[in-house]
Structure 1
Amino acid sequence: MFGSTVLEVAIGLAFCYGTLALVVSTLQEALAAAFGLRAALLLDGVKRMLADPRFEALARSLYAHPLVNPQGSTGARDGRAPELRPSYIEPAHFALALVDTIREGENSVGASIAAVPDPQLRRTLQILYAQAGGELQRFQDGVAAWFDNAMQRLSGVYKRRQLLVSWLLALLLAILFNIDSIHLFRSLWQHPVLAAHITSVPAGLDGATLDQLWALPIGWTSFPPVLNADFALQVAGWLVTACTTLFGAPFWFDLLQRAINLRGTGAKPAPVLPQEARASAQSVQPLQPAEPA
Structure 2
Amino acid sequence: MLSIYVDLALGLVLAFLMLSLLVSGLNEAFVRLLGIRSKFLWAYLRDTMDGSDAQGKSWLPAKVADVFASLPFVRDPRPVHSDQPAPVEAAQAPEHETKAEDAMTKLLYQRVQEIDHPKRGRTSIANIPPERFAVALMEMAAVEKDGVEGLLTKLKAMGSPLHGHLKGVWDSAQRDMDRFRQGVETWFDGEMQRLSMLYKRYVKWVVALLGFVVVLLFTMDGLEYGKTLLRDNAFRASVTAVSEAGPDAYSELKEQCAQSNPVPCITDTLSQPALVKVFDHAIVNIVIPAEGEPSVNWNGGTWWDRLTTLSHWPGYLLTFVALLFGASFWWDLLRRLTGIRGRR
Cα gap change, 1:143 to 1:227, in 2 (>3 Å): closer
The question of 1:56 aligning with 2:101 is answered yes
The question of 1:241 aligning with 2:281 is answered no
The question of 1:176 aligning with 2:204 is answered no
Cα gap change, 1:99 to 1:148, in 2 (>3 Å): same
Aligned counterparts, 1:70-85, within 5 A:
70-71=115-116, 83-85=122-124
Aligned counterparts, 1:158-237, within 5 A:
158-192=199-233, 214-220=275-281, 222-225=302-305, 231-237=309-315
SS of 2:101's equivalent? coil
Corresponding position of 2:131: 92
Q: TM-score, normalised by structure 2?
A: 0.61
8 Å Cα contact 2:49/2:160 also seen in 1: no
C-alpha separation in 2, matches of 1:100 and 1:141: 14
- Percent of aligned pairs sharing the same letter: 27
Cα gap change, 1:97 to 1:173, in 2 (>3 Å): same
- In the TM superposition, what whole-angstrom CA distance separates every residue of 1:14-46 from its partner, at most 9, and x where no partner exists? 000011111211221121111101000000111
Give the residue type in structure 2 aligned to 1:242.
F
Q: Give the count of matched residue pairs.
A: 240
Corresponding position of 2:290: none
Corresponding position of 2:254: none
The question of 1:13 aligning with 2:17 is answered no
SS of 2:216's equivalent? helix
| Superposed CA RMSD | 3.2
Could you say which structure has the greater relative contact order, defined with CA pairs below 8 angstroms and 6 or more residues apart? 1
C-alpha separation in 1, matches of 2:236 and 2:141: 64
C-alpha separation in 2, matches of 1:53 and 1:185: 53
C-alpha separation in 2, matches of 1:51 and 1:240: 46
C-alpha separation in 2, matches of 1:137 and 1:194: 73
8 Å Cα contact 1:9/1:195 also seen in 2: no
Q: TM-score, normalised by structure 1?
A: 0.71
Kindly state the Cα deviation for residue 141 of structure 1 after the two structures are TM-superposed: 1.3
C-alpha separation in 2, matches of 1:85 and 1:125: 26
Cα gap change, 1:226 to 1:83, in 2 (>3 Å): closer
Which residue, out of 152, 157, 168, partners 1:113? 152
C-alpha separation in 2, matches of 1:57 and 1:195: 69
Give the residue type in structure 2 aligned to 1:137.
D
Give the residue type in structure 2 aligned to 1:44.
A
Moved more, 212-221 or 17-26: 212-221
- In the TM superposition, what whole-angstrom CA distance separates every residue of 1:78-128 from its partner, at most 9, and x where no partner exists? xxx971230100111111212333554432211321221326432321111
Kindly state the Cα deviation for residue 214 of structure 1 after the two structures are TM-superposed: 4.8
The question of 1:153 aligning with 2:205 is answered no
Which runs of 5 or more residues in structure 1 are unaligned?
Answer: 76-80, 197-210, 268-293
Give the residue type in structure 1 aligned to 2:136.
A
Give the residue type in structure 2 aligned to 1:109.
V
C-alpha separation in 1, matches of 2:117 and 2:3: 59
Moved more, 14-23 or 97-106: 97-106
Kindly state the Cα deviation for residue 156 of structure 1 after the two structures are TM-superposed: 0.7
C-alpha separation in 2, matches of 1:49 and 1:69: 22
Give the residue type in structure 2 aligned to 1:89.
I
Which runs of 5 or more residues in structure 2 are unaligned?
Answer: 54-99, 238-271, 282-298
C-alpha separation in 2, matches of 1:194 and 1:103: 78
Moved more, 172-181 or 238-247: 238-247
Moved more, 140-149 or 95-104: 95-104
Give the residue type in structure 2 aligned to 1:255.
L
C-alpha separation in 2, matches of 1:128 and 1:194: 71
8 Å Cα contact 2:46/2:102 also seen in 1: no
8 Å Cα contact 1:168/1:242 also seen in 2: no
The question of 1:251 aligning with 2:292 is answered no
- In the TM superposition, what whole-angstrom CA distance separates every residue of 1:31-84 from its partner, at most 9, and x where no partner exists? 1111101000000111122143336234432343233564369x9xxxxx9712
Cα gap change, 1:213 to 1:85, in 2 (>3 Å): farther
